[in-house]
Amino acid sequence: MMSFATTGTTPIGVAAAAAPARRVADVIIPLALDTAYSYAVPAGMELLPGAQVRVPFGPRREAIGVVWGLRAGDPGNLKQVIEPAGGPVFSDNLRSFLDWVARWTLAPRGSVLAMALKRPDEERGEVIRVGIRLAGPPPKRMTPARSRVIAAAEGGLLHGKSDLARAAGVSAGVIDGLVDEGTLETCVMPPENLFPPPDPDHAVTQLGPAQEAAARNLREAVAAHDAGAFLLEGVTGSGKTEVYFEAVAETLRAGRQSLILVPEIALTAQFLDRFAQRFGVRPAVWHSGVTGRKREKLYAGLASGEVRVVAGARSALFLPYADLGLIVVDEEHEAAYKQEDGVHYHARDMAVVRGRIDGCPVVLASATPTIETRVNAAQERYRHLILPERYGGRTLPAITAVDLRGAKAGGKSDDKPEGDGWISPPLAAAIEETMARGEQALIFLNRRGYAPLTLCRACGHRYECPNCSAWLVDHRFRRALVCHHCGHVARRPSACEACGTVDALAACGPGVERIAEEVATRFPGKRAITLSSDFPGGTERMRRELADIAAGKCDIVIGTQLVAKGHNFPGMTLVGVIDADIGLSSGDPRAAERTFQLLQQVTGRAGRGEKAGRALVQTYQPEHPVIAALISGDAERFYAQETENRRLAGLPPFGRLASLIISSRHREQAEAHARALARAAHAMDLRDPRLTLLGPAEAPIILIRGRYRYRLLLKSAREFDLQSFIRDWLAGAPKPRGDIRVQVDIDPQSFF
DNA sequence: AGCACGCCGACT
DNA sequence: GTCGGCGTGCTC
C-alpha cells in the first residue's frame, strides 16, 4: 500500500548509471505543526527550495506544502514527494520571514505558512465574457429603448452585455432582441485587465515644504533599498498620504512593488479614489472579503510581479511578493493591526521585520502614533519625519469639560444631568444651539446596548453571564441580555430569575440605546440615528446610513467608537461625549493611551467641514491626565508622562508584555492548568525578578467558540528573552493533559 | 486540520 | 456480542 518497498532503491534499469543524487526535501505543511517533514525527492524531479509540492501525509491523505530546505542524504524509507504543485516559489527571504514570525509568536511554523498560502482552491479556467458590438442595420421596428441601446453602443467598440444594458437603462432582453435582428452581434471579449499599472507621473501633487522634505527622505530610501523604518507623523489634514504616495511613485519608477497596509475598515472607496487621482487607477485590494477568481489572480499577479501596488489589510503582509520595494503602514496606531486569534501578531511590527529581511523601507504613518513607535523614533531606531502644519489653516475644534461631580466637589451643580437623564444642561444647550443653526451633532458613548448592568429592584439580583461572570448588558432593541465578553445571549426575562418578582428589572447606567431614548424625548422632531456594531441590517445598510448622514439627512448621531474612525461627516459641528471616563480604570496597561486617542479622534469629528466645531466632554475626573491633556490640547506632554509611567512600570516599550492563553473545552481543566502555570510563574518571579506575573490572579475565564480561555499576563525586562523563557517553561511545566492548549501573545493589545 | 484508534454505553 | 459516540494523539 505504501511505497516503502521502492523508496531508496534505484529502479533496475538505471542502477548501472551514475548514482542518482539522493535528495531529501524538508517540507512544512500548512497545518498547526512546527516540524518540517522529510520526503525523498524522486530521481529526475526538478525542485527548488521554496517550491510548493504535493506530498503524502498520514495513511490516506495528501497535502500541499512548501520545501523549506533541500539536502543530500539517504532517503531511507521516507515517503516520496508526489509532484511539484505549481504556484509561486517561496523565496529565501519569505521563508526567513515566516520562520521569524513563528519564533516570535511561538506559533507552529505550519500555522504561519498557512497565512502565506492563501492558495486558490482550484485552478479554474478563464470564464468567457460575452461582448456586444454594433454590427448591422437598424432594426425594422425602432423603439425608444432600442435607440438608447444603439446610441450607447456607438463607435464599434466592444461592450460587456450587462454594462451596455445598464448604460442604456434597459434590461438585457432588449439587447437580445437586437442581436436576433442582426443589429448587434455577440463576440468573445478579451479577459479584463484587473490590475492596470499605476502611473507614477499621472498627476504629480504640489507639496508644501515640510511635505517635500519628508518625501525626499522617502524617495532616497526607496532608491537606495534602504531597509529601515520611518515614522511619518502629522496631524489630520497635514498631507501624510500625499507624502507616502511619493514613495510609492518612486517604487513604481524603480519597477518594484509597494504594499500599503491599511486597517480593514479604512479600505474605503474614498481612499482608493484618492490613490486613483494620483496614479490614474485604483490599487489592487487584498482583504478577507476578496474571494474567488479575483483573489487567485491577485495572488498570482503579486507573485509574478505584475501587480505593482496592493492596498491590503494586515493579512497582505504574508503574501509572496516578487520584488517588494516599499511597505507603508497607514494609521500605524490602529488596534486592527493586531491579530488576536490563531497566530497572534502585530502587523505593524511584523512589517518592520519584513522590511529588514526584504531590504526595503517601511513607513509608519499616523497622526497619533503609539507610545512604542514614538519611543522607537526617539531612540532613533526609526527615523522621524514630522509634518507640523494642517493644510489650509483649518483649526482644531475647541474642547471643554463638563464637570459632573456637582457642588460637593466644587463644580457647578447645575452641570449635572437632571433626573434620570445622562445629557447635562450645558450639552443640551449646545445641542439646541447646533440644531437652531441647522447643523449636525454627534453624541458619543462607547457602550453598546441600553444599560451595562441589569438588576432586580426587589431582591438586588445582578444578571451575570453564566460563562464568564461578566455583567449582562441590556439590549432593549433586541429584547435580550447580552454578554459583551463571550457573546452569550439570553432572552430578557419578565420575572426576576432569583426571586420571581415580575417587571422589577432595573437598568443601571447608560448605553447608546438609552441615550437615543433620551434624545428622542428631549429633541422631538429631530432626526436621530444610533450607530454601533450591532446595527441591524448589516454593513450594507450601515453604509447607506453613513452616506445619508454625510448628506445632511440626519440631525443627531448617537454612536459608539464606530463613529470615531474612518467616516467623515462634513456637517458635524458639535461633539458631545457622554462619559469620557469609560475605559480609564479598566486595568488595561494601555487604558490611558487608548482612551486619549479615542477621545481625540471622536472630538476631532467636529468641524471637519466649512464651519468651526466644538466638543463638550462630560467627566467625573476633569483633572485626570487624559482629560486634562484632551482639554489643553497638550498631547506631547501627555505622551511624555505616559512614556515615563510605562518606564516605571516596566511595560512596553520598556519591557515586554505577554499573555499566555490557556484554553480547553472543559472549564475545570482550563482553570486547574492556569492555576498551575500561575504558580510556576510566581515561583519564577521570585527566582528571576526580570520576569513578573501581572494582573489579577483570578482573571475571568471566558468562553470563545466553544473553548474556555484564561489569560495569564506576564511582563519582563526588555533585554530578557521572553520567548525563550516561555518555550523552556512550557517544556518543563507539567504536560498539559487532555485538550488543553497554551498559546502566547507577545505585547497583547487588549485585556478583557 | 483530518483521520484512525480506542475506550465506554446502547442496540440488533 | 458489535455499532458508534467522541476524546486523544499522530502525521516524514
- pLDDT tens digit string along A514-543? 999 999 999 999 999 998 887 777 777 887
Q: How far, in Å, is the CA of A607 from the C1' of nucleotide C8?
A: 61
Nucleotide nearest A55, CA–C1', reads C12
Boundary of a domain, candidates A509, A536, A558: A509
For residue A60, give the nucleotide whose C1' atom is nearest its CA.
B3
Tell me whether residue A555 is in a domain.
yes
Domain count, chain A: 6
Give me the residue label for grid cell 460637593. Answer: A408
Residue A200 in any domain: the answer is no
Does A383 fall in a domain?
yes
**How much is the average pLDDT of A423-443?**
95
| Residues A476, A421 within the same domain | no
Which has the higher per-residue pLDDT, A452 or A133?
A: A452
A240 and A178 within one domain: no
- Does residue A125 form part of some domain? no
Residues A521 and A615 in one domain: yes
Cell numbers at residue A234, please?
502629522
Residues A264 and A378 in one domain: yes
pLDDT above 70 (res A37): yes
Residue lying closest to nucleotide B1, CA to C1':
A31
Higher pLDDT, A134 or A201: A201
Smallest CA–C1' separation from A57: which nucleotide?
C11
* Boundary residue ending a domain (A469, A491, A509): A509
pLDDT at A230: 98
Provide mean pLDDT across the span A236-264.
94
Q: Mean pLDDT for chain A? A: 84
A58 CA to C10 C1' distance (Å): 8
Residue A30 belongs to a domain: yes
Chain A 45-84 residues in 7 Å CB range of strand C: 55-59, 78-79
- Domain membership of residue A7 (yes or no) is no
- Do A367 and A223 have their domain in common? yes
Known binding positions of A: 456, 459, 465, 468, 483, 486, 496, 499
Between strands A37-41 and A61-72, the pairing is unpaired
Q: Taking a C-beta distance cutoff of 8 angstroms, is the pair A553, A593 a contact?
A: no
CATH code of the domain covering residue A100: 3.40.1440.60
Q: Is the CB of A738 under 7 A from strand C?
A: yes
Cβ A450 to strand C below 7 Å: no
Annotated binding site of A for Zn(2+): 456, 459, 465, 468, 483, 486, 496, 499
**Nearest nucleotide relative to A26: CA against C1':** C12
**Residues A242 and A302 grouped into a single domain:** yes
Least confident piece of the model among A333-347, A404-418, A466-480: A404-418
Q: Are residues A388 and A297 in the same domain?
A: yes
Average pLDDT over residues A155-163: 67
Q: pLDDT digits over A573-591, tens only?
A: 999 999 999 988 877 788 8
A363 in the same domain as A493: no
pLDDT of residue A20: 58
List bases, strand B, within 7 Å of protein CB. 1-4
- A625-632 and A591-603 helices cross at what angle (nearest 10)? 30
The CATH number of the domain holding residue A570 is 3.40.50.300
Whether A670 CB is under 7 Å from strand C: no
pLDDT range class, residue A53, cuts 50, 70, 90 = very high
* Cα–chain center distance at A642: 25
- CATH of residue A722's domain is 3.30.70.600
Q: How far is the CA of A738 from the C1' of B6 (A)?
A: 15
What DSSP letter does each residue of A272-331 carry, written as one string? HHHHHHHHSSPPEEESTT--HHHHHHHHHHHHHT---EEEE-GGGGGS--SSEEEEEEET
- Cα(A713)–Cα(A699) distance, integer angstroms: 10
Same domain, A525 and A579: yes
Q: Is residue A169 part of a domain?
A: yes
Kind of pairing, strands A382-387 and A472-475?
Answer: unpaired
Give me the CA A489–C1' C5 separation in Å, rounded: 29
State how far the Cα of A94 lies from the Cα of A319, in Å rounded to an integer.
9
What is the per-residue pLDDT across A61-95, written as a single tens digit (0 to 9) for each?
Answer: 899 999 999 999 888 889 999 999 989 999 999 99
Q: Which of A604, A620, A643 is the last residue of a domain?
A: A643
Q: Is the CB of A100 under 7 A from strand C?
A: no
Average pLDDT over every residue of A334-355: 92
A597/A534: higher pLDDT = A597
Band (A698; pLDDT cuts 50, 70, 90):
low
Sign of the Cα torsion A501, A502, A503, A505 reads positive
- Whether residue A111 is found in the same domain as residue A139: no
The yes-or-no verdict on residue A170 having pLDDT over 90 is: no
Residues A49, A170 within the same domain = no
- Give residue A336's domain range: 209-392
* A731 vs A479, residue with greater confidence: A479
- Whether residues A345 and A246 share a domain: the answer is yes
pTM tops 0.95, yes or no: no
CA A727 – C1' C7 distance (Å)?
27
Measured CA to C1', what is the nucleotide nearest A110?
B1
* Residue A264 confidence (pLDDT) above 60: yes
Whether A403 is covered by a domain: the verdict is yes
